[in-house]
Amino acid sequence: MPKIYEVIVTSSAQKEIRKLQKIEVQRIIPAIQLLSVDPRPPGCKKLTSASNIYRIRIGNYRVLYSIYDVIKIVEVSGVRHRRDAYE
């Protein structure tokens, strides 16, 4: 049985998602939901600049999130276009 994590999307990430085109949202939301089953999916990268921040790619967008294994929470902190994701 896979570990089940609670996915929390911060208000700033929700605002970023609302600004996206509908077709992008339809690709990003399912990918975020899948993090509850596998918070480290194939292709996810741990960012070196900050501790405990990971990112997954969805087309030209990056979902930035933190994993808290002890309390089983994945916190999505940003959804940004790739040119803006690493600032």
pLDDT tens-digit map of 70-80: 999 999 999 99
DSSP state of 77: E
pLDDT tens-digit map of 32-76: 999 999 999 999 999 887 778 999 999 999 999 999 999 999 999
Whether residue 1 is predicted with pLDDT greater than 60 in this model: the reply is no
- The confidence score (pLDDT) of residue 52 equals 87
Please identify, in words, the CATH class of the domain defined by 6-81: alpha beta
In single-letter form, the type of residue at position 59 comes to G
Q: Which structure tokens are listed for 16?
A: 């970023």
| Cβ 67 vs Cβ 45: under 8 Å | no
Domain parsing of the chain, residue ranges: 6-81
